[in-house]
Amino acid sequence: MRTATFMIAVLAMLAIVLPAPALGQANLDINTPAINSLQRSMQQRHTQLAPLYASGAVGLTRDGNVALRDARAVPLAQRQQVNALIASENQDRAALYREISRANGHPEWEADIRATFGQRWISRAQRGWYYQNASGAWVRK
């Protein structure tokens, strides 16, 4: 009886220490207001970014960001606008990685989340888009 009580106490402590997503290989929670709004903002911006990926002006970096790859692919008059677009996208992406790790109770996972996204953006990118390979060189998919 005493052992049973002790076991329950230990389990209760573990339940407090381990947040739910860490128990087993559960899904990560991505359904928070902050994450949803970042997702919407990035989705809207994508209509402007898609042609830039296709022209090779903008590429996907290894660390889960986007970057200006070929400035010559952008008319001079639009360069400032493209740079602003890239900056806003990277801001949203940074916030997204941070929010996902926080929403799941592990702010220290942020770098791992970013690395995971870095791989997934690239592997799901369309043919013809550019991405950075392991040595940092631009490669056309």
Nearest distance from C-beta of residue 30 to other proteins, angstroms: 5
Nearest distance from C-beta of residue 1 to other proteins, angstroms: 22
| Per-residue tokens: 76 | 């001079």
106, 100 contact by CB (below 8 A)? no
Interacting residues of 1 by C-beta distance below 8 A, sequence separation 6+:
none
**What is the distance between the alpha carbons of residues 27 and 124, in angstroms, rounded to a whole number?**
20
Nearer to other proteins, 75 or 136 (CB): 136
Nearer to other proteins, 8 or 80 (CB): 8
Three-class SS of residue 61?
A: coil
Chain contacts with other proteins (rule: CB under 8 A): 13-14, 17-18, 21-22, 25-28, 30, 35, 39, 42-43, 46, 96, 100, 106, 109, 112-113, 116-117, 119-128, 133, 139-141
| Per-residue tokens: 45 | 């911006």
Nearer to other proteins, 53 or 82 (CB): 53
Nearest distance from C-beta of residue 77 to other proteins, angstroms: 27
Q: Measured in whole angstroms, how far is the alpha carbon of residue 36 from the centre of its chain? A: 13
Nearer to other proteins, 49 or 82 (CB): 49
| Per-residue tokens: 9 | 């106490």
